[in-house]
Chains A and B, each alone.
Chain A
Amino acid sequence: MEILAFASFAVLVVAWLLAPTKAVAVETSAEGRAAA
């Protein structure tokens, strides 16, 4: 059971490394745009 527990956590860590990291443009508020 301990091996499965370690393995499942390792799978998550690998998934974080492989997961997409594309940034998406988010529309800002009028105030935000003015400040920028």
Chain B
Amino acid sequence: MEKIDTGDTAWLLASAALVMLMTPALGFFYGGLVRRKNVLATIMHSFFILCLISVQWVLWGYSLAFGPDHGGIIGGLDWLSLRGVGQAPNPDYAPTVPALAFMVFQMMFAVITPALITGAFAERKRFKAFVVFTLLWATLVYDPVAHWVWGTGGWLRTLGTLDFAGGTVVHITSGVSALVAALVLGRRFGYGRDALEPHDATMTVLGASLLWFGWFGFNAGSALASGGLAANAFVVTNTAAAMSALTWMTVSWLHKGAPSVLGAAAGAVAGLVAITPASGFVDVSASILIGLGAGTFCYVGIQLTKRLRVDDALDVFGVHGIGGMWGALATGIFATVAVNAAGADGAAYGNFAQLGVQAIAVLASASYSAFMTFAILKLIDLFVGLRVPEHEEVLGLDASQHRERAYQI
């Protein structure tokens, strides 16, 4: 039996708790961006997913994602309801911590990923449709793609894809799915005519700050050990977030004439997204360039999305889709074995093939997510209906879906 390292175990469990905090933080980030009549429903999306996927993951999600491989596509059902996943380490994934610690750390990633999508269909999706969508999406999209990239025998892992903490698994899948969801659901009532402005920017900045805090667990925890690699991931994560926030704020300042507070918050999140796949493979100089790219590309992408009149309500594709793609490709450019001997050199160090591998991972995860999300949404629309009726949308989802009100003042 592998020997358990107490330092590694403590760090991984603390990281799992940090990542857990990110999902309610996302609820606040999104909650501030919607109108006051929809804030409870928006926060509920994240909180409900925390509960739903926590159960789905232990029953079958973990087994599908990390269980014994079947053809590089999916894990087996051998670990249903965590059979065989106990206090002993699994040397295939994390040889110095209990298998249960690795499982719960991965659970928090499975939780936050579908929660990211909810920003695209905010203010108009039927709660029942959201519940069914989340369960199907987690099972049919997240679990298989997590296996492709991280599972032993997964085909993208075998190909040599570098994804330290979830650029493809978390951000490309959720970002692309968000775009598909926005297109399938259609625009909110009043889009392009009414203001549809954020009701509480302070809540959004608080949410972004808590996301940033939790992201240290997301990225540095993905080292799966308490050591130098975790420290590198921690530093480059902070640097990229800061650089992206500065860049987004600057670009929006030059474009619209004022340094936007919400822009700085969104920029920080874009930087965190982009550094996610790279954080265990790049040095601090590269993280500055990755942050610069994230702040620029995501801002420009959102402007284009708005020009095309796609109502991705809270810019999920712009931040997570574009940021995730940039991060995955940037990993193929800036990765170096000087940071992580178990990784690979990228194009900047003469290995152009790595960039090709990363591009394949981007295309595969994006196209699979888009197709499956479209199919799941169409199926739900057939049996449940995706959108609330127009009068309920005008009334607000807090009242129409939950019979509650956020503010009594």
Residues of A bordering B, CB below 8 Å = 1-2, 4-5, 8-9, 12, 15-16, 19-20, 22, 24
Contact = CB atoms under 8 A, between A and B. Distances in A.
Interface stretch (B41-49, B104-112, B268-276, B285-293): B285-293
Given A19-B259, A20-B257, A12 B250 contact: yes
Contacts of A4: 285, 289
Contacts, number: 37
Grouping DSSP codes into helix (H, G, I), strand (E, B) and loop, the B interface class, with mixed when no group exceeds half, is helix
10 residue pairs, one from A and one from B, having the closest CB atoms: A5-B288, A5-B285, A1-B285, A19-B253, A8-B292, A15-B250, A2-B285, A20-B257, A12-B250, A12-B246
Contact of A1 (B246, B247, B348): B348
Grouping DSSP codes into helix (H, G, I), strand (E, B) and loop, the A interface class, with mixed when no group exceeds half, is helix
Interface string B204-248: 000000000000000000000000000000000000000100110
Nearest to A9: B288
Interface string B253-265: 1100111000000
Contacts of A2: 285
Interface string B106-121: 0000000000000000
Nearest to B295: A12
Contacts of B259: 19
Contacts of B283: 1
Contacts of A20: 253, 257-258
A34 B4 CA distance: 67
Given A12-B247, A15-B250, 17 more contacts: A1-B283, A1-B285, A4-B289, A5-B285, A5-B289, A8-B243, A8-B289, A12-B246, A12-B250, A15-B254, A16-B250, A19-B250, A19-B253, A19-B259, A20-B253, A20-B257, A20-B258
